[in-house]
Structure 1
Amino acid sequence: MPQNIAEFRIIGRIGKITPREKVKYVSVAANYNRRDGDEWKTDTLWNSVVCFSNVANQVENAGKGDLVHVTGRVRENNHGEGNDVTYRTELVADTFSILAKADSENE
């Protein structure tokens, strides 16, 4: 039987890592080219990726500026009660790989 999926893939640089009690949030930049008149411009978009214990160990070796490849699933989440419910789309990492360390490119 066919399965419905919602997945993502990001290849980008780490902006910051925010550790929490059970998860780590990793901010990863992705660049997109767009046309502005006759010129091409690059837009940088920041993606917040949720890393649970299954991939959080790989995040331990990562740092700001590292080039990473992250894949995972997209899920909707909400919290709150009554009229005070907040909805959010989360990117939950299934794999996390460091492609290049930030300082290795300057050598």
Structure 2
Amino acid sequence: MPRNISEFRIIGQVGGIDTRDAVTFVNLAANYNRKDGDEWVTDTHWNRVTCFGRCAEQAAKAGKGDMVHVTGRVRQSQYEKDGETVYGVDLIADSFSVLARQDEVEA
């Protein structure tokens, strides 16, 4: 039977890690090049990834500036705030691995 999936893959650098009781949030920068007039410029996209369990353990070992590879699933969310519905998209990690430490990336 066919499966319906919604997934993501990010290879990027860690901008920050927020570890809480049962979850770790990781901000990842992915860079893209785009043309601005006659010049090519870097366009950085920031992504906040939610990690649980083993992925949270791996994420907690990463450091700012490390190059990482993260895959996972995309989930839409919604909640009420001040009487209005707020919609969002959550990136839930299924795998998290460090490809290079910051000092190796800079070299």
Could you tell me the TM-score, scaled by structure 1's length?
0.90
Displacement of 1:82 after TM fit? Answer: 8.6
2:38 pairs with 1:38: yes
After the TM superposition, which residues 5-24 of structure 1 pair with which residues of structure 2 at under 5 Å, given as runs?
Answer: 5-24=5-24
The equivalent of 1:90 in structure 2 is 90
After the TM superposition, which residues 21-100 of structure 1 pair with which residues of structure 2 at under 5 Å, given as runs?
Answer: 21-80=21-80, 83-100=83-100
Could you tell me the TM-score, scaled by structure 2's length?
0.90
Contact 2:66 2:105 (8 Å CA) reproduced? no
Displacement of 1:53 after TM fit? Answer: 1.4
1:46 partner letter: W
- Which 10-residue stretch deviates more, 79-88 or 21-30? 79-88
The superposition leaves residues 7-55 of structure 1 with CA deviations (integer Å, 9 ceiling, x where unpaired) of 1000000000011221110000000111112221110111000001131
Structure 1: 5+ residue stretches without partners = none
Q: How many residues align?
A: 107
Q: Structure 1: how far apart are the matches of 2:41 and 2:106?
A: 25
Change (3 A) 1:81 1:106: closer
Q: Structure 2: how far apart are the matches of 1:59 and 1:30?
A: 17
Q: Once the two structures are aligned, what percentage of the paired residues are identical?
A: 54
Contact 2:19 2:60 (8 Å CA) reproduced? no
Q: Structure 2: how far apart are the matches of 1:29 and 1:56?
A: 18
